[in-house]
Chain A
Amino acid sequence: MSETKTKWDWEITSQTSYWGTSLGEMWSFRHLLGGLVKRNFLLKYQQTILGPFWILFPPLLTLVTYVVVFGKFVGIPTGGLPPVLFYFSGIILWSFFSDSFSGTASTFKDNAHLFSKVYFPRIVLPLSIISTQLYNFLIQFMLLLLLVAYYWLFQGLTISPGITILWFPVAIITTAVLALGMGLFFSVLTAKYRDIGYVISLGVRLLMYVTPVIYPLSAVPEKVQWVVQLNPLSPLFEAFRLSLLGEGTVSVFHLMYSMLFTAAFFSAALLLFNKQGDKLIDVV
């Protein structure tokens, strides 16, 4: 039996690859992805009376707070939109982003036990978190549509759906990919240095204030608008509102900037995640 004749299916070396798992292998783990999403969902509502309704309560409660605090007391203008719709659209997209990001950023830390006992493509776990959050987002989005319908029917809100509706999937997908990219990048860092975990929870809170969540971009003074526009999330939020509610300050140029930034960041993060993922198990 000569050495050359033997065909090996797999080979483990000390080298780690930037390219990670092949698509074929990923496909064979699709059931795991589905199973994990289901598990995340079940776990969250295990032993609760209201169950999945808890997806809707937190954003609604935040909505009430925002309407009262920012709308009534502080008086931040919401453009021509009813404050309820304005805030709620911002809240659900923001919670989608921040929950996805902070959920994936601790992938290695949270799953160290699992990762040290069994092999599967590590990327499956962050993907399952994003998918779970996307699912939650879609449910919250249904509620937003109901609210929009209410305002349209009874409050005389005029919406003229146009070509801008195409921005909607772009905004959602780009937000998801950006959250995943940032999550992958920081998961590698938090695995080794837990300090990063604290930085993330702080950073996410601060990031919200340079994102048009509680204010429209148009309400930002011209002089500092560039700060907000530098944030690749800003055009996504504006595009999201524009596509749904018909109001938002966004240009194709800004949207392109967001998408390119996201694509570049995500690719880099994915390569880093693949390259470092196999080594990290020694240090988590």
Chain B
Amino acid sequence: MAENIIQVERISKLYRLGTIGTGSFRQDLQHWWNLYILGKKDPFFHLDNTVLPNAQQDQIWALQDINFEVKQGESLGIIGSNGSGKSTLLKIISRIVKPTMGTVKGKGKVSSLLEVGTGFNKELTGRENIFISGYILGMSKAEVAAKFDEIVAFSGIEEFVDTPVKRYSSGMYVRLAFAVAAHLEPDILIVDEVLAVGDADFQKKCLGKMREVSQSDGRTILFVSHSMQAINTLCDRALWLNKGTMKEIGPSTTVVNKYIASMQKLQLQQKWETSSLAPGNDKIRFKQVELIPHLELTEGIIDVRTPLTVKFQFWNLLEEVSINVGLVLFSYSGDCIFDLLSPATVCHKGIVEGECTIPGNLLNDGSYYISLHVARDVSIQLYYFEECLAFDVEDYRGNLNYFEKWWGAVRPQLPFRLENKNIRLQLSI
């Protein structure tokens, strides 16, 4: 059994809000006066230490009572919405900020990559920046020198290595910066959302390199990302932070799925008991709209594989009309993905019910909403029920080693043939 390499015990971090000025200066004086002149303990920080005191008005707990362990060679993903304390936690483990309470114990050399290009200076050349950035990240001169050619090759800036980086394109800059960090050899690597910058190609290279580091070199990685796909592929375990507290820790797929399920902006069902309150007009009033995901396959979350059934009921207030319903699916940005028309049906006064299933493996990942329009005689609109359902489709790629954002409005699985015909072409140059 692998040994623990990091042990986080009861870490909490309190931040003071507001600006620093005369007000905070007075508070500092008071604090100092109480502590050193009157000999009183600060009432806030020296409670019995078993319960965290409530934050005062101008304070906020960025982290509360975080406990976990990381084993040698394990990679731990840290997920959570913005402001949940992920970066603060990484900064504490990286020794950049001090916790308000608690301890972190660890073994070996830690390198943190909290941003791409730490210590880079735009005025200096690529060569000079590689060295200085390497030193800042904790490499020795010999290490940087030994890796220098590799770093330059990885970043692909051979011709520009003696040009100030201010003249680099932003892509070159980011590639060089990551290349330095990628060649660190710490025991523990801490990475914070570096994937958020750079183009798709860079992100892919970056993730690939991290996989290599974690899987073949057996290094311990702490990794914060908003890409659940990346967390799933890279990490063995995941820690879910919610508003500074630990919500869940465990195998990454389980935690990620729970996190996604909690995040999905769902409006899966709307129901009205009486027609007077229901949306509609004097011709049509909706009784119910519902989206039923078929979750058997996908562990409780809607992802690209999930078939979705839309069910709706409405009161038809007209006598004997030929009605058809259109189901329009929009992406969150408002682009229409498709507009499906039901067959026209002659309906009497009363309830009309309809159902349509969007198959799995059709939609790409993203957020969607559905609008329904009801028409008579195919072309005369009776009622348009806008944005009646909303849902998110999460990414799923299985073991596919492809990390970029998947292009396109849809991601259908269509028959696709590719084969090797075994005919050697005579290449004439």
Chain B residues with CB under 8 A of A118: 94, 96, 112, 114, 118-119, 136-137
Bitwise interface map of A from 1 to 40 toward B, beta carbon under 8 Å scored 1, else 0: 1000011111111101000000000001101101110110
Beta-carbon contact of A117 and B3 below 8 Å? no
Is A115 in the interface zone, CB < 8 Å from B? yes
Chain A residues with CB under 8 A of B212: none
Q: Closest Cβ of chain B: how far from A184's Cβ, in Å? A: 19
Beta-carbon contact of B97 and A282 below 8 Å? yes
Beta-carbon contact of A1 and B1 below 8 Å? yes
Beta-carbon contact of A9 and B108 below 8 Å? yes
Is A72 in the interface zone, CB < 8 Å from B? no
Known: A10-B105, A114-B119. A119 touches B96 (CB 8 A): yes
Beta-carbon contact of B20 and A192 below 8 Å? yes
Beta-carbon contact of A11 and B118 below 8 Å? no
Beta-carbon contact of B97 and A281 below 8 Å? yes
Is B245 in the interface zone, CB < 8 Å from A? no
Beta-carbon contact of B103 and A46 below 8 Å? no
Chain A residues with CB under 8 A of B91: 116
Is B41 in the interface zone, CB < 8 Å from A? no
Chain A residues with CB under 8 A of B121: 39, 43
Beta-carbon contact of A12 and B140 below 8 Å? no
Beta-carbon contact of A282 and B15 below 8 Å? yes
Give complex CA distance A206, B156 in Å. Answer: 53
Beta-carbon contact of B106 and A8 below 8 Å? yes
Chain A residues with CB under 8 A of B85: none
Size class of the contact patch on chain A = 35 or more
Among candidates B3, B102, B112, residue contacting A14 with C-beta atoms closer than 8 Å: B102
Beta-carbon contact of B100 and A11 below 8 Å? no
Among candidates B4, B104, B119, B124, residue contacting A12 with C-beta atoms closer than 8 Å: B104
Is A57 in the interface zone, CB < 8 Å from B? no
Give complex CA distance A185, B15 in Å. Answer: 24
Chain B residues with CB under 8 A of A117: 96, 112, 114-115, 118
Q: Closest Cβ of chain B: how far from A238's Cβ, in Å? A: 39
Is B95 in the interface zone, CB < 8 Å from A? yes
Give complex CA distance A278, B91 in Å. Answer: 12
Give complex CA distance A181, B102 in Å. Answer: 32
Chain A residues with CB under 8 A of B280: none
Give complex CA distance A118, B180 in Å. Answer: 14
Beta-carbon contact of B138 and A11 below 8 Å? no
Give complex CA distance A116, B106 in Å. Answer: 21
Chain B residues with CB under 8 A of A47: 123
Bitwise interface map of A from 119 to 149 toward B, beta carbon under 8 Å scored 1, else 0: 1100000000000000000000000000000
Is B223 in the interface zone, CB < 8 Å from A? no
Which residue, of A29, A34, A117, A281, has the highest number of chain B Cβ atoms within 10 A? A117
Chain A residues with CB under 8 A of B3: 1, 6
Chain B residues with CB under 8 A of A283: 20
Q: Closest Cβ of chain B: how far from A15's Cβ, in Å? A: 8
Chain B residues with CB under 8 A of A114: 118-119, 136
Q: Closest Cβ of chain B: how far from A22's Cβ, in Å? A: 14
Q: Which residue on A lies nearest to B94, using beta carbons? A: A119
Give complex CA distance A282, B96 in Å. Answer: 9
Q: Which residue on B lies nearest to A111, using beta carbons? A: B119
Chain B residues with CB under 8 A of A32: 135-136
Q: Which residue on B lies nearest to A281, using beta carbons? A: B97
Give complex CA distance A32, B98 in Å. Answer: 23
Residues 119-140 of B contacting A (Cβ, < 8 Å) = 119, 121, 123-124, 128, 131-132, 135-140
Beta-carbon contact of B98 and A119 below 8 Å? no
Bitwise interface map of B from 77 to 108 toward A, beta carbon under 8 Å scored 1, else 0: 00000000000000111111111111111111
Is A53 in the interface zone, CB < 8 Å from B? no
Is B405 in the interface zone, CB < 8 Å from A? no
Give complex CA distance A12, B188 in Å. Answer: 15
Give complex CA distance A192, B19 in Å. Answer: 11
Chain B residues with CB under 8 A of A29: 135, 138
Beta-carbon contact of A31 and B118 below 8 Å? no
Chain A residues with CB under 8 A of B164: 46
Beta-carbon contact of B118 and A42 below 8 Å? no
Chain A residues with CB under 8 A of B7: 6, 8
Is A152 in the interface zone, CB < 8 Å from B? no
Known: A1-B3, A35-B132. A12 touches B112 (CB 8 A): no
Chain B residues with CB under 8 A of A119: 94-96, 110, 112
Give complex CA distance A38, B123 in Å. Answer: 13
Residues of B within 8 A of A (CB): 1, 3-4, 7, 15-16, 20, 25, 28, 91-108, 110, 112, 114-115, 118-119, 121, 123-124, 128, 131-132, 135-141, 164
- Could you write out 6 A-B pairs with CB less than 8 Å apart? A12-B93, A36-B132, A39-B132, A114-B136, A119-B94, A120-B136
Residues of A within 8 A of B (CB): 1, 6-14, 16, 28-29, 31-32, 34-36, 38-39, 42-43, 46-47, 114-120, 192-193, 278-279, 281-283
* Other A-B pairs, 11, CB within 8 Å; known A12-B93, A28-B138, A118-B137: A6-B3, A10-B110, A11-B105, A11-B106, A12-B92, A12-B95, A14-B100, A29-B138, A36-B132, A119-B110, A282-B98
6 tightest A-B CB contacts, nearest first = A32-B135, A8-B105, A119-B95, A12-B104, A35-B135, A31-B141
